[in-house]
A and B are shown apart, each in its own frame.
Chain A
Amino acid sequence: MNNVIGKVAATEKNPTTIDDFYFWTSKNMILSPFDVIKVNHINESITFGVIEEISHITDTASYLTSYISNDFGDLSIKPNTQRIGMNYVRAKVIGNTKNIYIPLRDGEAVNLANAIEIKQALGLDKIKNPLVCGYLEMYESAGEDKKVSLPIHFNSDFLIGPEGAHLNISGISGLASKTSYAMFLLKSIQHKYLNHEDETNSDVAFVLLNVKGKDLLAIDEPNNELTKSDYEIYDNLGLDDKPFSNTKYFYPYSDNSISNTYANKREIESQLELDKAYKYKYIFEWDKDNLDLLFSNVDDPTQTMDSIINYIISEQGNFGNIRNWEQFRNEVDEHCKPGSSKDKEITVSSWRKFKRIVNKSTKNNPIFAPRASEQDREVRMQNAIKSIRKNDVFVVDIAKLDEGLQSFVFGDVMRAVYDLKLGQFEDVDEKDIPSKIIIFIDELNKYASSDVPKNSPILKQLIDIAERGRSLGIVLFSAEQFKSVIHDRVKGNCSTHAFGRTNEIEISKSDYRFVPSVYKNMMTRLKQGEYIIQNPIFRSLLNVKFPKPLYKQFK
């Protein structure tokens, strides 16, 4: 098989350098950015490059020449001779088999590489603790015999710790399939741990927050729309074709008048019957410490809300005697009455603001209840998290809750996981705690955008997890539409970044400054099921694909 596609050209203006080189190729040779090519170098070494930019040139001196070449603008002209033209390609050097990095020599033949060479070139051939993260297709249009498709693996130490942790996925909703990609990776992780492929003796559990419709409410049920070729992809990637196992669903408690979930009653009931669903509630006595989470998106420059929450948590006034939300609201009402302020430091107007926010969320919502009945499969979220064991997948549904409550539940889940991992719960045996807990949250921008008030307890929690989670075994998988709005300390601590389809405005932001312009433009054209991945063990950005999800999809 002759794989020579062109030759290196070092010119006065564009010399070959340690970092990159140019080569020319036929104008009909179909190549794509991210394709790997190889070039022979001195001492019988081979240099590998990744294509960054492809340009087509002819000897047309100017647009005017082209116009004149058509009889001064005659559209019907068909010339006998094709203009001389070729493509020239800019490639980035990504490695040399003998670590020789002096610039490539002019005139050296440029070849397509085979699967083994591509792996070697991208540094994918000696990956420890491999965890499949998709597959790569190369030379797609160069003909069947040249096409290469190969699975790509992360070193799991760099995705879920201890070396590096946290994943951030960004991309436009509906076009980037962020959730699907996160779920694919989670599936890959669960597969690895269920099949004891991990060599480190660690174990892992998952907490997923369902933020959109019924997206994640049937992840243990098969996807009936998959075709044979989809299953073949899973097979080639070395994954089984079953949906998630050990799944438990947590629905916000609903009563007859108010429904807190998009899942219909019948679906929930059948899950309840199969012992895999719970309804969660918040009980004042136990959950009042989380009241601050209701205020995560409230600007509180004078910290009066903080003072009130402190007042309540420290059981000042009558707050020590309160058992339920009803009494709590009544007590707050008391403080709102004119002239009734018992504490001079907090004004009545602050109490009123507090009341407004608390009432908005807690009044009329059945999840704020006097008690949770175990017989009826009702739980407190914190207790539920305490019960998580290795390989468990907990799905917490918050999709239909209002924004304030979504933050409240998410904050509570994070706190519970944090406390669990820190050993704060005396009633949990340490050996039962999974060594790693992965939390997946979509729409991270709601909780960790750079506009979120600095004192937001959820932001603080997220930063804490981002910065310390790696050593604690708490791994954050997050997704959002626009990475540029996310708080620097949150995204900065993610070891792995996945870029899905995005828009022009986004790629002009500083977050994308390191990305070559062609890749940037590619980001605006990526198909569903296609991502550009950055991970510390990869020598360059990779364009990976992943198969359709194995679990039931709701349209």
Chain B
Amino acid sequence: MKKILPFIESETSGKSYKTHKYCFDGIDMPNLIYDDNQELTFKKYGETEKLSSTRPLLEKAKEIQKFSKPIFRFFLDGSRRTYKVDDMAYDNRVYPVIAGQIGVGCCERDDKGNLKNKLVEHQLVLSLPENASKDNKKDLFFNNLVEKVNENEFLKSRNLKFHKILDYQDKQLQVGEKYENLGIAKIQDEMVEQEKKIVSFLAQKNLLNEDAFLLKDGSLEYKTMKTGDFKDLSIIKSNYKCVVGVSKSFNPEKCSDKRGQSNAKKIAELGLYHRTPAYMFESFVARGKKGTVKFAIWYVRIRDAKYTSSPFEGIIKVEKILVSEDEQEYGLDSREIDMISAHLINERNPVCYGKDNRWANHLYPVFLTESFIKSKYLSNQYFINLF
């Protein structure tokens, strides 16, 4: 029984160097530290009221807790774990072979506050350079390759299947650029695709409504892709009426005011249980057939700064896609923003202090969803030794 790499080596007519296999987690990954990747300039208000200062929401949060049920019912998170499993030579160049496990999951919270799994996707993927296919029809080639790989007795006997073999671009590398990162980015894209698929599923089943929002971990700004069923956010944005994206970590330096000055200080000094005014953000990354996608973006402080180790800890960045014409024109209704923020403030407890260093920014149901997805992963040792 051949393991996977010798099989791919022969199928792609490459040369495997049988290099050291390792997991990328815990290794410095440029560009992937922050959940968001937006250059924000607050030129326009993203809400109906023109707030001149931050708004305190503790009272509202208390009132909501007393008189109504939590609005967030579904929690979505995606994560991926990537591995370098080999170096493979095609012609005179040597490319890394990247493998990954993708986990995307959605949990539902019942009325008693218990979280249950709603949907989960655990996929194994491989990322090869596009010129692993020596012919022009590379899509066909990689589709065939994954089927052949899955026919492998070695995998069959373990009841495992690879979902896809992704191809990363073979191009002249810029300074600081690495093939590894190109491969990982492909796997990241695939994960995002799965996230979008789940949102689409929930929206189509009418599970998302005014009383049942979805809270998604991380930014909602999905760049437009070349392929995939959900490649264009501008087309599928109606799925996101009741979806809120919450980023734990954001780059405060990338957020500037009208005059181009950094907003970092204002955010850092945000009062406890206050929110900033919401700003409108027009994403060109997510521009699609129906034009750009607009977002309302604001920040909420959910933990007292005196307990956190940096002023940005305890602040979450909230995004909501502006779906209707009115919203795109005038911004999101300020009452809705207050309401969402108040509900988010109510999500502050319990905390995952002691389990996750990002506890101050983490929301517990999201943390649980993340833990759940990670529990589905094959162990690193096991996975690496498939190759």
Contact = CB atoms under 8 A, between A and B. Distances in A.
Nearest to B62: A76
Contact of A62 (B109, B349, B354): B354
Contacts of A349: none
Contacts of B355: 59, 61, 65
A59 B349 contact: no
Nearest to B113: A82
B115 A59 contact: no
A303 interface: no
Contact of A81 (B65, B307, B359, B365): B365
B70 A80 contact: yes
B137 interface: no
A59 B371 contact: yes
Contacts, number: 66
* Interface bracket on B: 20 to 34
Contacts of B371: 59, 84
Contacts of A64: 353-354
Given A78-B65, A80-B346, A68 B351 contact: yes
Nearest to B75: A81
Interface in A281-318: none
A79 interface: yes
A81 B352 contact: no
A425 interface: no
Contact of B112 (A61, A72, A82, A84): A82
B353 A80 contact: no
Given A78-B65, A81-B347, A81-B368, A61 B115 contact: no
A69 B349 contact: yes
A82 B116 CA distance: 11
Nearest to B368: A84
A555 interface: no
Nearest to B306: A72
A78 B349 CA distance: 8
B352 A79 contact: no
A105 to B, nearest CB: 16
A274 interface: no
A269 B149 CA distance: 100
A81 B364 contact: yes
Contacts of A70: 349
Interface in B309-327: none
Contact of A59 (B347, B348, B352): B352
A69 B353 CA distance: 8
Contacts of B350: 60, 65-66, 69, 79, 81, 83
Contacts of B114: 81-82
A84 B117 CA distance: 12
B115 A65 contact: no
A65 B354 contact: yes
Contacts of A80: 65, 70, 72, 109, 113, 346-347, 365
A6 B199 CA distance: 32
A81 B115 contact: yes
B354 A79 contact: no
Central interface residue in A65, A69, A80, by most chain B CB within 10 Å: A80
A69 B115 CA distance: 17
Central interface residue in B65, B112, B349, B355, by most chain A CB within 10 Å: B349
A341 B326 CA distance: 126
A71 interface: yes
A39 B352 CA distance: 34
Interface string A117-136: 00000000000000000000
A66 B352 CA distance: 9
Contacts of B349: 69-71, 77, 79
Interface string B346-387: 111111111100010000110010010000000000000000
A71 B359 CA distance: 13
Contacts of B115: 81-82, 84
Contact of A61 (B354, B365, B368): B354
Interface string B59-90: 00000010000101000000000000000000
A61 B70 CA distance: 25
Nearest to A76: B62
A81 B351 contact: no
B71 to A, nearest CB: 10
Contacts of B346: 80
B364 A79 contact: yes
Nearest to A27: B114
Nearest to A59: B355
A121 to B, nearest CB: 33
Contacts of B353: 61-62, 64-65, 68-69
A59 to B, nearest CB: 6
B351 A69 contact: yes
Contact of B348 (A61, A65, A71, A82): A71
A232 to B, nearest CB: 39
A73 to B, nearest CB: 11
Contacts of A62: 353-354
A104 to B, nearest CB: 21
Interface in B25-55: none
B113 A79 contact: yes
Central interface residue in B65, B350, B359, B368, by most chain A CB within 10 Å: B350
Contacts of A65: 350-355
B289 to A, nearest CB: 38
Contacts of B307: 68, 72
Interface in A405-429: none
Interface in A441-482: none
24 contacts: A59-B368, A59-B371, A61-B352, A61-B353, A61-B354, A62-B353, A64-B354, A65-B354, A68-B353, A68-B359, A71-B349, A72-B304, A77-B349, A79-B113, A79-B364, A80-B65, A81-B109, A81-B113, A81-B114, A81-B364, A82-B112, A82-B113, A83-B350, A84-B115
User: Which are the 5 A-B pairs with shortest beta-carbon distances?
Assistant: A61-B354, A69-B350, A82-B113, A79-B349, A80-B70
Interface of B: 65, 70, 72, 109, 112-115, 304, 307, 346-355, 359, 364-365, 368, 371
Given A59-B352, A80-B109, A81-B350, 8 more contacts: A59-B368, A61-B352, A64-B353, A65-B351, A71-B349, A80-B65, A81-B113, A81-B347
